[in-house]
Chain A
Amino acid sequence: MSTGAPRAAPPSRFPLRREQRDAASLVIEWGLVAFLPPAAVVPAPLSRSLLAALLVAVLPAALAAQRPLRATGVRGITFGMVIPGIPQPVARTDAIRSGQFDITGPNRSDVTITFTLPTMLTSPGGGTVPIVFGPASAGWSEAQAIGSQVAFDPSQPFTAALSNNGRGSVFLGATLQPAANTPAGDYTAPVTLTLAYTGA
C-alpha cells in the first residue's frame, strides 16, 4: 500500500528565512568536505566555523532543495530477552524497541521505499528463528514522529513524500517466533532497504 503522503507548498511569507535554514541544514548534513575538493584541508575549527557561516550566508536558495539522498538506520529492532517458545512482538509504534530509518532527499519529493525482508534468522550452527513482518509492520512519518505514522506493508513498495525540508522516517516492527527447542546461538539475517527517487 502506498499513500503518497501529501504536503503543502512551503509558505512564501518569509522565503529568505526558510532558505537560510535549509541551507544551514544542508551544510551540516552533507558536511563541508562535500563542497570542497577531495584534497582540501580545513586546518582549524575556527576556519571551519567561519567557512560554515559564509556558506550559510551565501548559498543560494536552490541549493537547499538539492539535499542529497540518504537512508540512515537510527535504531534497530530490539526484541529484548529471547525466550524459546515465546513470541516476541515489537510494534512499529514502540518508541524504544521499533526500528527507525531516517530518510532525506530533495524537498517535497517522492521516494519509493522497498524492503527485502528475511523470514528466518539463522545461526552459524544451522539453527533458525522465524521472524514475521505483518501487513502493518511498517509506518511512514513525514514529521519523523513515532506518534504520527501512516502504516504500510513492508513487503510491498511504498511511495513516501518527503516533507518541505526533505525529511521523513520509516518505523519498523516485527515478531520473533523462537521455537521451544531453539538452540543457543548467534542468529542474524540481512535486511535491505531500497530507496528509489521517483522525481527524476
Chain B
Amino acid sequence: MTHPLRLALFGLALLLPRLVAGQGVLVAPHAVFIDHRTRSGAFDVYNPSTDPVEVSVSTLFGYPVTDSAGQLTLATFEHADTAARSAAGWIEAFPRRITLAPNQRQTIRLLARPPQGLADGEYWTRLVIQSDGGRIAVENPDSSGISVGVTLSVRTLISLMYRKGPLETGVRLTGLQGDVRGDTLVVASHLAREGTAAYLGTFRSALVDDAGRRVAEFETLIGLYDELRPRFRYPLGGLAPGRYTLQVQVDTDRDDLRGAPVLASPTVRASVVVTVPPPGS
C-alpha cells in the first residue's frame, strides 16, 4: 500500500462516526401477559453488539396517558393509593441482573406473587429493562490534558398485564374533531375505556372525498387504560382543497401483538366533515 493511500485511509478512519458499543439490548415482546392460573411469563433480551452489556430488570407502575397537547406519554405513579391496579410490587424477574455476552440471548422469567384474595381483574406494571453500556465520546487528551466523555444507559419500558378471572374491555369514542392546519391533519377525540381490562387497539383515520374515495389513511396504536384525549397529527401532502369526510375507526386488531391474548371488542366508528383550505389561506 502506498504511503499516501495509507494516510488517506487513516484520515478517513478519523472522520468516520465512532460506533458506540454496548448500549441497548433488543427486548421482545413489547407486551407481556400473565394469567392468574399460571402466574408466570417471560420475555427475551438479546445483545447484538460486540461488547458485553449489563442488564437489570425492575418494575414500575404506569400507563399511557395524554398530555395537555394531546400527545401520548407514559404516566408513572409511585403511591399505592393511585396504584390499586398495580402489579409492580409482586412481579419478580429471574434473573434480575445479568451480563449479556456479545450476541447472547437470555430469557427473563417472570413470576407473580399476588396478594391473598386478589380480586378478579386486570393488574398492570411496566417492566424496566436497563442496559448499561460503554462509555462514549471520549476524546484523547490534547495539550490541555482534558478528556471528556459520557457513559450511556438505556432503559426500555414495556407493559405487563396480569389477568385474573373473566375480563372484558371496550372503548367509548366521543368529541371527534378534525382540523387541517397547514399540511397537517389534526384528529382530536375523547377515548374512554369501558369494561374491566385495558383496551389495546388501533385508532384508524381516513379522509374520504365526495366521490367516496379514501384519499388518505393513517393509524396509531393505542393502549387505553383509563381515558385519552389524543390530538393525533398526520401529514397531508398535496391534498386538494375541498370538503372531506374524516372517518375514524377504533378496533382491537393489532398487527404488533399477533398471537398475544388481546381482548377483542366491537369496533367503534365516528365521522365528521373536514375542510382542506386552499394553500396560503
Contact = CB atoms under 8 A, between A and B. Distances in A.
Interface of A: 1-9, 29-31, 33-34, 38, 60-63, 65-84, 96, 99-101, 105-110, 112, 118, 121, 129, 157, 159, 161, 176, 178, 182, 184-200
Given A29-B48, A69-B27, A108-B221, A76 B18 contact: yes
Given A33-B46, A33-B105, A185-B146, A112 B74 contact: yes
Given A70-B25, A110-B220, A6 B158 contact: no
Nearest to B258: A62
A113 B181 CA distance: 26
A31 B50 CA distance: 13
Nearest to A80: B139
A102 to B, nearest CB: 9
B232 A100 contact: no
Given A71-B156, A197-B157, A200-B159, A129 B148 contact: yes
Contact of A69 (B30, B70, B138): B30
Contacts of B81: none
A82 B146 contact: yes
Interface stretch (B88-96, B115-123, B129-137, B271-279): B129-137
A8 B200 CA distance: 20
Nearest to A38: B105
B157 A9 contact: no
Contacts of B126: 196
Best-buried of B143, B154, B222, B254 by chain A (most CB within 10 Å): B154
Best-buried of B69, B138, B200, B220 by chain A (most CB within 10 Å): B220
A110 B218 contact: no
Contacts of B156: 69-71, 194-197
Contacts of B185: 6
A99 to B, nearest CB: 7
B152 interface: yes
A109 B148 contact: no
Given A34-B26, A68-B28, A190-B151, A200 B223 contact: yes
B82 interface: no
Contacts of B143: 81
Interface string B138-180: 1101111111111111111111000000000000000000000
B114 interface: no
A195 B155 contact: yes
Q: Lowest 7 CB-CB distances: which A-B pairs, in order?
A: A184-B145, A76-B137, A76-B136, A199-B221, A62-B258, A73-B20, A106-B256
A157 B68 CA distance: 13
A83 B259 CA distance: 57
B103 A108 contact: no
Contacts of A61: 255
B246 to A, nearest CB: 14
Contacts of A96: 15, 17
B158 A197 contact: yes
A78 B219 contact: no
Contacts of B9: none
A8 B23 contact: no
A38 B233 CA distance: 42
A128 to B, nearest CB: 11
B139 A79 contact: yes
Given A68-B46, A74-B17, A79-B137, A4 B233 contact: yes
Contacts of A65: 255-256, 258
A106 B105 contact: no
30 contacts: A6-B185, A34-B44, A62-B255, A66-B255, A68-B46, A69-B27, A69-B158, A72-B23, A72-B24, A74-B17, A75-B17, A78-B139, A81-B139, A82-B148, A108-B219, A112-B74, A161-B220, A185-B145, A188-B135, A188-B150, A191-B152, A193-B155, A194-B156, A197-B157, A198-B223, A199-B200, A199-B256, A200-B30, A200-B158, A200-B221
Contact of B26 (A6, A70, A110): A70
A172 to B, nearest CB: 10
Contact of B159 (A8, A121, A197): A197
A134 to B, nearest CB: 17
Nearest to A193: B154
B256 A198 contact: no
